[in-house]
Amino acid sequence: MRHGVMIFSVIISYWRNITLPWICGILLASVLLAMPGKVMAGAAEDPGVVDAVDYGAYLARVGNCMGCHTTKGGQPFAGGRRLSTSFGVFITPNITPDKETGIGLWNQQDFWQALHQGKSRDGRLLYPAFPYTEYTKVTRQDADAIFAYLQSLPPVSQANPAHDIFFPYNSRALLAVWRTLYFKEGVYEPDQSKSTAWNRGAYLVQGLGHCNACHTTRNMLGASQDNALAGGQIMGMNWYAPSLSSHLEAGSGDWEIEEIAALLTTGITERAVASGPMATVVRQSLQYLSQEDVLAMSTYLKSLTENDTGNAPGVHFSVISGSLRRHLELGGKIYREYCQECHGADGKGAPGIYPALAGNRGVVMDSPLNVIRSVLNGGYPATTAGNPRPYGMPPFQQILRNEEVALVVSYIRNAWGNRASLVRALDVDQGKGGDD
């Protein structure tokens, strides 16, 4: 699009924001309560403790804990971020070592209990907005390292409001039933038939990375329908996290491992751009992964679709009628005025700068939500060490009416050999809500 970049590409996500409601460590309980004060005693003299703190800092970055536990303009890890969901509003807690308002009274066992069992220090059940359904796979050693790091932070005195959860979801009895139906406790078990790298990648993706928290379809009670990273609308956010196990969406079975790693750490490659919430995950978390870990994750992610033989995207209409042609011509006129300067008359864009729209899986997915959101809100790819000055795209929400956005998106989804369903003005209106 003019002066910017249509960020429509494959949105491959592994840690939910990203500032995303369901992706960072959210100890969703009224936190705060008792830890014997010797956990970090002698840290300065004990190299083992210092190493644990450093490693814990790395793991906290991998899990993007600060993304959820820090509100805009607030102190790191002091909580207070509002997470709007269909079940109500959760307020992320203070996880600094403040003894009154944080977790300064917690010990290692309390923290392990929260991550592994989904229970607060006093035994209360935590809401699964805190992804303990994934964090249960994290090893005790890694949990202890994260705790050591959090305890090394400066205490911040900040009391946060209580959650505002709708009835009947605020019932602890209902939560207990939910856990019985949908929560399976257990540390990740390596697959002995797979390589060390594959298992390390699976551990990060399934556990600390909690990718399934976003890339899954959920039922009416917010439970994941499967563990196959098969894609779904992100809970509490008006974005679609594409399937990582289908080559029709964001599967990477036909990619080189190094190319997957480049997308994870820089947010952009010649054929994909991480956009929306995923761009935040790349910026805040993934770009800081060690080379070994990012290659391990790439190995695992590639394996999810190496044997995928799914059919090509369905053609929704084989013959373009006169009325449909006129409809698309109107969208083409809008495209030429606002989009062609960057993305080209042939829709091929400029590799590494402006994403191609022709043949783009993110454009022709069954759900047009991400394309609509990109046109409405614009945005930037992640600012990373590998892409320090990304090209951005301006928002068009104040320039184009809903009907015009629907026309141009319909055109993009059906030009240059693309084939996908048309978009309605109602779809655009529904795409305006949700947090970023």
Which residues are annotated binding-site positions for heme c? 65, 68-69, 211, 214-215, 339, 342-343
Q: Could you give the C-alpha distances from 235 to 21, 225, 285, 386, 410, in angstroms and in order?
A: 7, 13, 20, 30, 26
Dihedral sign of CA atoms 43, 47, 53, 54 in order: positive
DSSP state of 154: P
Q: Are 27 and 114 in contact (CB under 8 A)?
A: yes
Q: How many C-beta neighbours within 10 Å does residue 48 have?
A: 9
Q: How many CA atoms lie within 13 A of 262 on its CB side?
A: 13
The rounded distance, in Å, linking the Cα atoms of 330 and 404 is: 9
Q: Could you give the C-alpha distances from 85 to 131, 222, 261, 283, 352, in angstroms and in order?
A: 14, 10, 31, 24, 35
Pairing mode, strands 164-165 and 272-273: unpaired
Cβ neighbors of 278 (< 8 A, separation 6 or more) are: 11, 12, 13, 17, 18, 241
The residue ranges of DSSP E strands in 254-326, in sequence order, are: 268-269, 272-273
* Three-state secondary structure call for residue 377: helix
Pairing mode, strands 272-273 and 268-269: antiparallel
